[in-house]
Structure 1
Amino acid sequence: MHAIRDAITAALRQPDPQRPSQTIGKAKAGIYAFYDYDGEPIYVGQTAEGFGVRLGRHLTGQRSDAVAKYVLDPFEVHTVSMWSLPHIGDMPPRERKAALDPYEYTVYQRLLEGSAFNAILNEGDIPEAVAQELPDPLTCVIIPDGILPDRSHPDIRIARRAQTISLLAKNISERKVSRGLRRALLTQTERLNALARARYQALDGVVEVEGAEGVVDEPEGLFPTP
């Protein structure tokens, strides 16, 4: 975990593409996205208090709502993209969220279009808004090469994903929850099914679908490791 913390710290120390004189970690407002080991987008969020604070809550054990509800497993996060928006960071804090909403919606829609599952794990609905012109993001891998083979192994990922689904389902069964949380459960089960099928096929297994011929096509990006 220390190696991952160091990688996150190094990412936050990189220059802000919009204000190269300062680090991205000092940017006061922006949008961020997480991607898994297949390059699949899994979460989109906004920050009006700084990337360092927000990413820390999600990824370093500080327990954001998404993690506490078992929507997001930090173990799944391989890459982070950050869109710094200095013109919003210069606004008074109370005005930033409303200004960030259209940018969050724009990033969410763009990544949704690129998703093999046409789904992202956000449990909350992002308000529809007019699409905004986005700056180039800063994108960083936060998993060091030394631990990548263990973290990215499909059997480990399958086990983690199954555990996350179990905990999320338990959470749903014990209380009244939003439709978005149930949508996250559905998305996670589809992601688990695709990963397990890809792993089975990588080991010369054949998956047959009733009424279809041949093997089921997998979403692009899933990497079967023998």
Structure 2
Amino acid sequence: MAKIAKKDQPPLAVRLIRAELAKVMAADDPNSPGCRIGDAVGVYAYFDYDDEPIYVGQTSSSFRDRVSRHLTGQRSDAVAKFILDPFEVASVSLWSLPHVQQAKSSKNPGQKASSAEKKALLNPFEYTVYKVLEGRSKFHAVLNEGVIQATELVDLPPVVHARIIPAQLWDDRKHSDVRIARRAATISRLSQMISEREVSGGMRRTLLLQARRLTWLAEQRIHEVGAEAPDAEDAAIGDE
């Protein structure tokens, strides 16, 4: 039996999404002409199939490394803690910050800035993106577990926004019943982790937000299929 090449081992759907993600990372960086956005550093955000913002982060390495780690099954704290389900991510936004990538150390001007120094430069942009998307969210919240450090708001550079789900997968992935089942499973795993460990308040807030997101999606599905949501009188009958 012929051995399957590593690149062909994942299911077709995974390979198609990885191909779309690779296209995004090969796109031109609007803030650094002649460079690819995947090689840049900066702030990123993920959106679900309703264009609802679900996660905001920063990276001082590269978008290609950090975003791929989240979305292609490699190790990620957000994924490992069941805070972020990669299946939910339909599109990404990338704000590149060349001045952070090119920053020099304040202590040793001849050397590149340390990760801590780059993080300090990234923080205002991450917080600004977070606040902008928090305001856009129908839930007025994003799934991040950790509290993003508050800073003064800053002007954001031009953004690269792109869908990572190819057309041939879109309808199946966006289907409400599929997403309801997936979201319920995520809530189950997250709540089990909370019950077994000493966790942060942020994880409990994330659980509450996921429950609200599941309720909203289930309500939308009720309306889509023409069913009636239970009212207070139905609930009272059920209690008898």
Common topology (TM > 0.5)? yes
SS at match of 1:147: helix
Corresponding position of 1:22: 35
| Larger helix share, 1 or 2 | 2
Give the CA deviation at 1:203: 1.2
Q: Is structure 2 residue 134 aligned with structure 1 residue 121?
A: no
1:165-186 deviation per Cα after TM superposition (whole angstroms, max 9, x unaligned): 0000011000000000000000
Q: Is structure 2 residue 100 aligned with structure 1 residue 88?
A: yes
User: Which structure 2 segments of 5+ residues have no match?
Assistant: 1-13, 104-112, 234-240
Of 49, 52, 58, which aligns to 1:46?
Answer: 58
Q: Is structure 2 residue 132 aligned with structure 1 residue 110?
A: yes
* RMSD, aligned α-carbons: 1.1
Give the CA deviation at 1:26: 1.1
SS at match of 1:63: coil
Contact 1:79 1:139 in 2 (8 A): yes
Q: Distance in 1 between matches of 2:119 and 2:189?
A: 30
Aligned partner letter, 2:202? G
Q: Distance in 2 between matches of 1:136 and 1:72?
A: 25
Q: Distance in 1 between matches of 2:206 and 2:75?
A: 18
Aligned partner letter, 1:88? V
Give the CA deviation at 1:209: 4.9
Aligned partner letter, 2:83? V
Contact 1:13 1:24 in 2 (8 A): yes
Corresponding position of 2:178: 156
| Paired residue total | 210
Aligned partner letter, 1:26? D
Give the CA deviation at 1:63: 2.4
Give the CA deviation at 1:136: 1.4
Contact 1:79 1:141 in 2 (8 A): yes
Identity %: 50
Corresponding position of 1:8: 21
SS at match of 1:158: helix
Aligned partner letter, 2:94? M
TM-score scaled by length of structure 2:
0.86
Give the CA deviation at 1:149: 1.0
SS at match of 2:158: coil
Q: Distance in 1 between matches of 2:30 and 2:186?
A: 35
Give the CA deviation at 1:20: 2.1
Q: Distance in 2 between matches of 1:114 and 1:162?
A: 24
Give the CA deviation at 1:205: 1.6
Of 84, 95, 98, which aligns to 1:72?
Answer: 84
1:179-226 deviation per Cα after TM superposition (whole angstroms, max 9, x unaligned): 000000000000000001110111112225549xxxxxxxxxxxxxxx
Which structure: larger Rg? 2
Q: Is structure 2 residue 155 aligned with structure 1 residue 133?
A: yes
User: Which structure 1 segments of 5+ residues have no match?
Assistant: 212-226
Alignment of 1:200-215 (within 5 A): 200-210=222-232
Q: Distance in 1 between matches of 2:193 and 2:55?
A: 19
Q: Distance in 2 between matches of 1:14 and 1:82?
A: 11
Corresponding position of 1:195: 217
